[in-house]
Structure 1
Amino acid sequence: MPGATENGNGGKISVALYLYKRLHELGVRGVHGVPGDFNLTILDLLPDADLYWVGNCNELNAAYAADGYARMKGMGALITTFGVGELSAVNGIAGAYSEHVPVCHIVGMPNISSQRNGLLLHHTLGNGDFNVYTNMSAHVSATTTTLTETAKAASEIDRVLKTCWMTARPVYIGLPTDVAMSLVDSSPLSKPLDLDLTKNDPETENAIVEEIMELMYKSSNTVIIADACASRHRVLNELHQLMDKTQLPTFVSPMGKGSVDETHPAFGGVYAGDVSREDVTKRIEAADLILFVGGLMSDFNSGGFTYRVERKRTVEFHSDHMKIRYSTYPQITMNGVLPLLLSKLDYSKIHSTPPPEISNTIPRRESLSNSTDITHAYFWPRMGQWLQPKDVVVTETGTANFGILEARFPKEVSHISQVLYGSIGYSVGALQGAALAVKEKFPDRRCILFVGDGSLQLSVQEIATMIRHNLKPIIFVINNKGYTIERMIHGMDAEYNDITSWQHTKLLEVLGAKEGQYKNHVVKTKEELEKLFTDKEFAKAGVIQLVELFMPMKDAPRALVKVGEITAKRNREGST
């Protein structure tokens, strides 16, 4: 195929292959998406860059999967076709933008001549406007480009991919069919992309660090809160060094869960405002100084905006600015401040106090109860006891996202959720992407999904992709007869929160699993749950497994009940 290799072309390479080689450089191997007539020829070139085609059931799921893949590998990529394909993916891309996840969205487009002449092509709006879809994606992308000029294509690709990595947000690359196969100079590929962050102004950075140190030395009760952007913007190493060297009590937000080692003696639990455990709330509210790393104070992440993180006693570390009490420092990044702080602190002047005791203890009323029902209060601590180090845990918007807060993770557990954007069905696609990334890079890790029966119905097809790629996750389907998170907010017995009941234990076979390559489990009682959790073959995760877990319809995790009440109240505010 012309332009498919560099050999015989005088150091030339096709635009599409140039893009793929850069993606490979950034750690991408599996490329998600759905084939369409405007992207078919570029799909042929993937093997030439040592990439492979994943092939999803629809573009929305592909975007979710690229998101999950990126959270495990550092960057994800998907390819869709013009118009109908890219618009189907936009919801998933919007979630990645909201949650700071670097995903490269490549759109196969009609050729330049067709666009310039405004031809009435399929997949258009019939008005000759070929920019309308790009303009839509611009609102959920860190940057966009349509490669209309071959001479500028390589530099544009480099610019866009660097932006994706540096901002940890999605980018959009429109690739017309003719430009994709045009040849460009391959020599820039001999030099890796410069991914070094812009250095902070030294004088300002030093002044900020000096001020933070002074506040830390004066404080007799300092705590750390780790949030989502600590992991998204790659400061977890510095965060753990801060924990190790200071032993300051360290808490995580719901979005930050899994970002720090929960077996660390300084770990103090999950802080979500009034939704937190009482001992955690008291500890945060009593602190003289709060070091808040990578904060995203959305409603569900902050217990319905009930955080008690007052500015007068808070230092905020962000990817593009710093805040110290009432002062804001634009363009000063935590990626520069944290290493300098670690190097300059006099640790003998730091006053540390023990964190609250956090464990996976099942509440006494649950352990003594005669009921055989598996309640959320019982299940999540018990599940925390069952987890193994290095597990990858994916939780769905709803009961699972809130229930997981009651489980203390073993060492090096990764957690994937979508607390801020909260698109139901996200977790199934994200599991596929995460499990694929694990297969590529961390084959010894288990991937485990907790998804409600309602959310599953939105994106269940992606289990077929998992089966096709021989992925072996454990999928817990929480059968509680509908949309429990919605019931907690409004309409406990409303028909619109009901769903059609599925025969979940037939799904794996229907979606392509062969005999001997899958297992189903039905768990309705505590006794059956205990039997499953002590089953060594189940725990090995040697095949894909689905667990249908029955829970009472009106039962919900403690945190979800509180958030539901707060959300319902806010929704009513201002009504007449």
Structure 2
Amino acid sequence: MSDIRTQSLQKPVTVAEYLFRRLHQIGIRSVHGLPGDFNLVALDYVPKAGLKWVGSVNELNAAYAADGYARAKGISALVTTFGVGELSAINGVAGAYSEHVPIVHIVGCPSTISQRNGMLLHHTLGNGDFHVFANMSENISCDVAKLVKPSEIAYQIDHAIRECWIRSRPVYIWLPTDMVEKKIEGARLDTEIDLSEPENDPDREDYVVDVVLRYLHGAKNPVVLVDACAIRHRVTEEVKRFIEKTKLPVFVTPMGKGAFDETSEHYGGVYAGTGSLPEVAKRVEGSDLVLSIGAIKSDFNTAGFSYHTSQLNTIDLHSDHCTVRYSEYPGVAMRGVLRKVTERIDMSKLSITPSPPVENAVAENRDDSQAITQAWFWPRVGEYFQEGDVVVTETGTANFGIWESRFPKDVMGVTQVLWGSIGWSVGAAQGAALAVKDLEQDRRTILFVGDGSFQLTCQEVSTMLKHNLRVTIFLIYNEGYTIERYIHGMDADYNDVTRWNYTDIPAVFGAKEGQSQKFVIKTKDELERLLKDKDFNEYKGLQFVELWMPKDDAPRALKLTAEISARTNSRIEDEQ
């Protein structure tokens, strides 16, 4: 029967070949992950599909790297083995789900025969349940495809990849060892997967557009607020065209940083409630209409839920619904609405007030000491950035400090504000830099990470060196977990970390002669010289900068948010 089914195929291909060729067709060029005995045969097909095997030092780092790759490239792939491998990666995949990042997670698992027989295999819980780990991942995946019926596998793979792209969230593909080389219909590969988004119902879309236009035309000082899902769901071009036509003032949230050209005269800065600069807060909160695009109103993204805007004065556009004031319109996605609003808006009815000016406030924040303060550092690196840079910031001082940096044109901001997994940024920087290399772009990837965060995932420096990636790491040496200090335990030893010889890390991980540079920077003058150095700015390899900053210093916004978080954490039931 198996031979008869195979003979009926027009273009028989193995399941692994089909899967990896599909990944190549959608733009993936590098596959992250680790080998394990349940995925080894499948990995033989990675190079055959024109893909590069990245290899990472552990599955968690691989998941973080796949996250960064997807943010820079659009989508990514991660391969782990059953049980021990996938569970090591699950935190990174959960973060991608939380933050709307599309990762195709492929898990090599025991054969269907082993599963039917309930064999007591390694990497299992020993209870005969082979589905327990897939069930865990079901809650952090927008589709789960268990490839066990050859006649359905091609459709399952195509459907999972489409869901991953359209919904911008991870999918889970379960690949048993005895399915890897099963033959399925390869003729489908001649037609690429349709990744176009479903169009809104025209009548419902037009109704929402009319409502939005009515409020926009009636507002006295409307503003636009762009958030993370505008990036994740790929509507930044629609936002750009809307602003080009309307010339409305536009602000971004911390998670939305990089979503709009910060050199534009219409750009007004980062809005995060009480964490905003006073002129930004005044402008946004004084508006009688906020057009919010792709909002994720989490605690750190709003500086502790400190928005002072009214829902009565807000229009929220999302990837799967729109909300105008208190009226919700499910199933009406923001792309179509934005396009039609841009086409139909009557400029003669639109009231426009200018954005507050945004500059890197370097001189204003320079004090008389040589200590590198957070207040001075972030505006200063804003001047160091170049057009097209990829800027990766770790949860903590970097995530909050980068608000004070004005980006040049086409800078990509990569940050994990909602999930906030400590150490994420090191893997994400590797993934983002690899995506840049796969795109054949000459862009710098610049990572800002604290010493405490770096110690969790420092091994990914090894992968950066392995693939000759262009990454500059600014390691903020301030003796521990600063954000935790400000939430609770300023002098507690659990917020301290062991002092490492950080600049020796590249050598420990195998850096060859001329493959890396290292610097220890302790003063403002030293940093000024480094940031102006031509070789430092143009270097194509790995650069490691150990940057000394005061232990008890933190960005302005972090202090405010940490104070709110501390109060929230300490509430008891009677106070709620």
Pair in the same fold by TM > 0.5: yes
Q: Aligned pair in 2 of structure 1 residues 496, 34: CA closer, same or farther (>3 Å)?
A: same
Task: Name the structure 1 match of 2:16.
Answer: 16
**One-letter code aligned to 1:76:** S
Q: Which residue of 2 aligns with 1:481?
A: 479
Alignment partners' CA distance in 2, 1:337 and 1:9: 44
Does the 8 A contact of 2:9 with 2:184 survive in 1? no
Which residue of structure 2 lines up, in the alignment, with residue 3 of structure 1? none
Aligned residue runs from structure 1 range 297-312, under 5 A:
297-312=297-312
Q: Which residue of 2 aligns with 1:166?
A: 166
1:286 aligns with 2:268: no
Cross-structure match for 1:36: 36
Equivalence map 1:255-404=2 (5 Å): 255-362=255-362, 364=364, 366-367=365-366, 369-404=367-402
Report the AA paired with residue 213 of structure 2.
M
Q: Deviation of residue 242 (structure 1)?
A: 1.1
Q: What letter is aligned with 1:116? A: R
Match in the other structure for 1:502: 500
- Secondary structure of the residue aligned to 2:145 is strand
Report the secondary structure of 1:393's partner residue: strand
Query: Any residues of structure 2 matched to 1:57-96 within 5 Å, and which?
Result: 57-96=57-96
Answer whether contact 2:482 2:551 (CA < 8 A) is retained: yes
Instruction: Report the counterpart of residue 517 of structure 1 in structure 2.
Output: 515
Distance 2:246 2:22 in 1: 40
Q: Does 1:471 align with 2:469?
A: yes
Superposed, 1:399-548 pairs within 5 Å as 399-548=397-546
Given that 1:375 and 1:555 are in contact with CA atoms closer than 8 Å, whether structure 2 keeps it comes out as: yes
Which deviates the most, 186-195 or 394-403?
Answer: 186-195
> Which residue identity lines up with residue 386 of structure 1 in the other structure?
Y
- Kept in 1, the 8 Å contact 2:10–2:187? The answer is no
Task: Report deviation, 1:9.
Answer: 8.3
In 2, distance between residues paired with 1:467 and 1:438? 15
* 1:135 shift after superposition: 0.1
Equivalent residue runs for 1:191-230 within 5 Å: 191-230=191-230
Quote the offset at 1:10 in angstroms.
5.2
Q: Following the alignment from structure 2 to structure 1, what is the Cα–Cα distance between the partners of residues 415 and 368?
A: 33
Structure 1: which 5+ runs fail to align?
1-5
Deviation at 1:351, TM superposition (A): 1.4
Looking at structure 1, the residues matched to 514 and 274 of structure 2 have their Cα atoms a distance apart, in angstroms, of 48
1:560 aligns with 2:558: yes
Whole-Å Cα distance in 2 between the matches of residues 478 and 455 of structure 1? 10
**Matched residue type, 1:69:** Y
**1:438 maps to amino acid:** V
Return the alpha-carbon distance in structure 1 between the equivalents of residues 9 and 477 of structure 2: 59
Number of paired residues?
570
Q: CA deviation at 1:542?
A: 2.1
Listed as ranges, the matches of 1:150-189 within 5 Å are 150-189=150-189
Opposite residue 378 of structure 1, the aligned amino acid is W
Whichever residue aligns with residue 239 of structure 1, its letter is V
- Matched residue, 1:569: 567
Specify the code of the residue in structure 2 equivalent to 1:104. V
Select between 308-317 and 400-409 the one with higher mean Cα deviation.
Answer: 308-317
Q: Which moved more, 1:547-556 or 1:566-575?
A: 566-575
C-alpha distance in 2 between matches for 1:216 and 1:397: 36
* TM-score after normalising by structure 1: 0.97
Amino acid corresponding to residue 509 of structure 2 in structure 1: L
1:32-70 CA-to-partner distances (Å, cap 9, x unmatched) read 000000001011111121111000000000000000000
AA matched with 1:158: D
The aligned amino acid for 1:193 is I
> How far 1:101 moved relative to its partner?
0.2
TM-score using structure 2 length? 0.97
* Separation in 2, partners of 1:237, 1:347: 20
* Distance in 2 between residues matched to 1:199 and 1:539, nearest whole Å: 45
| Contact persistence 2:78–2:104 (CA under 8 A) | yes
Q: Quote the Cα distance in structure 2 between the aligned partners of 1:548 and 1:180.
A: 46
What are the superposed Cα offsets for residues 426-448 of structure 1, whole Å, 9 maximum, x if unpaired? 00000010000001114310000
Helix, strand or coil at the partner of 2:564: helix
For the aligned residues, what is the CA RMSD?
1.5
Q: Supply the AA of the counterpart residue of 1:240.
A: K
* CA deviation profile, 1:286-325 (whole Å, cap 9, x unmatched): 1011100000000000110011231111110000000001
**Superposition pairs of residues 137-156 of structure 1, within 5 angstroms:** 137-156=137-156
For residues 57 and 33 of structure 1, the distance between their equivalents in structure 2, rounded to whole angstroms, comes to 9
Please tell me whether the aligned partners of residues 10 and 186 of structure 2 are also in contact (alpha carbons under 8 angstroms). no
For residues 50 and 477 of structure 1, the distance between their equivalents in structure 2, rounded to whole angstroms, comes to 35
- Whole-angstrom distance in 1 between the partners of 2:363 and 2:301: 24
Residue identity in the other structure for 1:544:
L
Inter-partner Cα distance in structure 2 for 1:252 and 1:171: 29
Q: Secondary structure at the match of 2:316?
A: strand
Equivalent pair of 1:363/1:377 in contact (CA under 8 Å): no
Give runs of aligned pairs for residues 84-123 of structure 1, distance below 5 A. Answer: 84-123=84-123
Moved segments of 4+, more than 3 Å: none
In the alignment, the residues of structure 1 paired with residue 541 and residue 28 of structure 2 have an alpha-carbon distance, to the nearest angstrom, of 25
Instruction: State the Cα distance separating 1:191 from its structure 2 match.
Output: 1.1
Q: Which residue of 1 aligns with 2:3?
A: none
Question: Is the CA contact (8 Å cut-off) linking 1:523 and 1:548 kept in structure 2?
Answer: yes
Q: Which moved more, 1:195-204 or 1:280-289?
A: 195-204
SS at match of 2:295: coil
CA-CA distance at 1:463 after TM superposition? 0.5
How far apart, in 2, do the equivalents of 1:196 and 1:519 lie? Answer: 44
1:181 counterpart SS class: coil
Question: Which residue identity does 1:258 align to in structure 2?
Answer: G
1:239 alignment counterpart: 239
CA–CA distance in 1 between the matches of 2:309 and 2:241? 23
Helix, strand or coil: the match of 2:180? helix
Alpha-carbon distance in structure 2 between the residues aligned to 1:279 and 1:363: 18
Distance 1:559 1:573 in 2: 22
Whichever residue aligns with residue 208 of structure 2, its letter is I
In structure 1, how many angstroms separate the alpha carbons of the residues matched to 2:273 and 2:233? 24
Alignment partners' CA distance in 2, 1:412 and 1:292: 21
- What CA distance in whole angstroms lies between the structure 1 residues aligned with 2:541 and 2:318? 41
Aligned to 1:132: 132
Deviation digits for residues 188-235 of structure 1, max 9, x if unmatched? 111111122222111111111111111111111000000000010010
Q: Is the 8 A contact 1:473 1:541 kept in 2?
A: no
The AA in structure 1 aligned to 2:494 is Y
Identity of aligned residues (%): 54
Question: Is the partner of 2:518 in helix, strand or coil?
Answer: strand
